[in-house]
Amino acid sequence: MMNLFDKFETGRFVLPSGQVNFAAVAWSLHPTFEGVALKHLITAKDAGGAFSYHLVRIAPDKKIGLHIHQTQLETHEVVAGGGVCVNAGQELPYEPGTISIFPAGSEHEVTAGPDGLCLFAKFIPALC
């Protein structure tokens, strides 16, 4: 059975002007954090800079280290795997169905558990 993460990976972004098939969007390695891959589903170009949507895969026991987005509100929707998020100093368990919100300027990090972690991340305004 296909999980929710797989459905997003092969889904599409539909607009009156056309669509973006997510299967055609390549995964890229995070430029800073080892074991983290990103699929930029909807970028600033697609949304006029208003927002961006990304699939994020974190390998088992790897992490997105402590960082801040000064100008973007960020949300995470956990769709597979598990781990822990530190959001503004509070440690939060991450499991499928968890949603976390990070206001602009909020310090945060995410660590995957032994099964890895898959997130749907959204940024307002767009990250890239």
Is residue 19 one of the residues assigned to a domain?
no
**In this structure, what DSSP letter does residue 75 have?**
E
Is residue 85 one of the residues assigned to a domain?
yes
Please report where in the chains the tokens 């669509």 appear, as a residue: 19
Q: Where residue 78 sits, what CATH number does that domain have? A: 2.60.120.10
The domain containing residue 101 runs over which residues?
4-10+33-124
Lowest mean pLDDT among 14-18, 37-41, 64-68: 14-18
Is residue 93 one of the residues assigned to a domain?
yes
The structural domain count of the chain equals 1
Instruction: Provide the pLDDT for residue 114.
Output: 97
- The length of the chain is 128
The confidence band for 98, taking pLDDT boundaries of 50, 70 and 90, is very high
Phi/psi of residue 11, nearest 5 degrees: -80, -155
Residues in Cβ contact with 66 at an 8 Å cutoff, skipping those fewer than 6 apart: 86, 107, 108, 109
Is residue 18 one of the residues assigned to a domain?
no
Is residue 17 pLDDT above 80, yes or no? Answer: no
Q: Where are the alpha helices (DSSP H) in 1-111?
A: 4-9, 44-47
The confidence band for 1, taking pLDDT boundaries of 50, 70 and 90, is very low
Mark residue 35 as left, alpha or beta (left: phi above 0; alpha: psi -120 to 50; beta: remaining): left
Is residue 28 one of the residues assigned to a domain?
no
Is residue 27 one of the residues assigned to a domain?
no
Is residue 3 pLDDT above 90, yes or no? Answer: no
Is residue 100 one of the residues assigned to a domain?
yes
Is residue 23 one of the residues assigned to a domain?
no
Q: What is the pTM of this model?
A: 0.91
Instruction: Provide the pLDDT for residue 8.
Output: 78
Please report where in the chains the tokens 């997003």 appear, as a residue: 8
